[in-house]
């Protein structure tokens, strides 16, 4: 029985997937949620087996790499002891805003992607759709790196991707960081720090910084980062 977007988001938020913890239970929940005939589920584990990237695909096996990936990360930053007026792992509503650790960055996107994917009929797809959800993005995109280094079937994944990072709820075309070989390692969203080393995985492309689309921002927020 599919859950509403809100109910599914609440389930995802309830998993404490802070980066220093295992994400296996969360990944397994999501895999079971979309599992059905015609859906292919692959698990790409970390070296020590405590984390896993999840790759879910449906659609024709034509190897053309057409189609679309919906990409996100499963981990969240620590909730901390201060600044919260409610349990960070229990989704709540404040006005028109959902509040919970990772509600915006980025389990809100994961919930929407899972439900849109679950609503598809795999037998009627004319092009491939993939969900690529990684671990440890918040501590150095370790899961994406592991996936790029160990994934043995790149032709299974479409070239085009939507990465559901909040980016201040604005649409950003391509990647907003410029890659500098030999630069320092850091989060690619931190523009004021020294230039990052080229560390994009194959789900993103280095482009000019701040290359934003002209699409208007959404009228209202549906989730909030806390
Ligand atoms: Zn994020």
Task: Compute, in angstroms, the gap from residue 176 CA to the centroid of ligand 1.
Answer: 13
Query: Which of 75, 136, 138, 165 is labelled catalytic?
Result: 75
Q: Give the model's confidence band at 173: pLDDT under 50 very low, under 70 low, under 90 confident, else very high.
A: confident
Query: What is the SS3 assignment for 94?
Result: strand
Q: What's the pLDDT score for residue 28?
A: 98
Q: What share of the chain has pLDDT > 70, as a percent?
A: 77
Active site residue 165: no
The active-site residue out of 105, 136, 137, 165 is 137
Residue ranges of E strands in 123-182: 129-134, 161-163
Annotation marks residue 137 as catalytic: yes
Kindly state the average pLDDT of the residues 55-66: 92
Whether the pLDDT of residue 66 is over 90: the answer is yes
Q: How far is the CA of 77 from the centre of ligand 1 (A)?
A: 9
In the reported structure, the alpha carbon of residue 2 is separated from the centroid of ligand 1 by a whole-number distance in angstroms of: 25
Domains of the chain in sequence order: 5-169 (3.40.630.10)
| C-alpha 68 to ligand 1 mean position (Å) | 19
pLDDT tens digits along 118-153: 999 999 999 999 999 999 999 999 999 999 999 998
Ligand 1 centroid – CA 137 distance (Å): 7
| Strand (E) or helix (H) holding 68 | strand 68-73
CA distance 32 to 43: 12
Of residues 140, 213, 134, 145, the one with CA closest to residue 176: 213
3 state DSSP class of 56: strand
């Amino acid at each position: 029985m599919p859950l509403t977007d809100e109910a599914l988001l609440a389930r995802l938020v309830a998993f404490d997937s802070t980066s220093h913890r295992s994400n296996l239970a969360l990944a397994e929940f999501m895999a079971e949620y979309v599992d059905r005939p015609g859906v292919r589920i692959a698990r790409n584990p970390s070296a020590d087996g405590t984390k896993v990237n999840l790759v879910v695909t449906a659609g024709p096996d034509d190897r053309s790499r057409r189609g679309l990936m919906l990409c996100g990360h499963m981990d969240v930053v620590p909730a901390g002891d201060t600044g919260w007026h409610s349990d960070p792992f229990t989704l709540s509503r404040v006005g028109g805003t959902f509040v919970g650790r990772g509600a915006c960055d980025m389990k809100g996107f994961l919930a929407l992607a899972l439900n849109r994917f679950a609503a598809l009929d795999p037998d009627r797809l004319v092009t491939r759709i993939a969900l690529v959800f990684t671990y440890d993005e918040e501590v150095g995109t370790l899961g994406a790196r592991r996936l790029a280094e160990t994934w043995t079937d790149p032709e299974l994944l479409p070239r085009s991707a939507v990465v559901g990072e909040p980016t201040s709820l604005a649409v950003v075309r391509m990647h907003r960081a410029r890659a500098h070989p030999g630069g320092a390692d850091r989060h690619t969203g931190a523009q004021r720090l020294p230039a990052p080393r080229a560390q994009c995985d194959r789900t993103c492309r280095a482009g000019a910084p701040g290359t934003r689309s002209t699409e208007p921002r959404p009228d209202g927020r549906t989730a909030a980062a806390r």
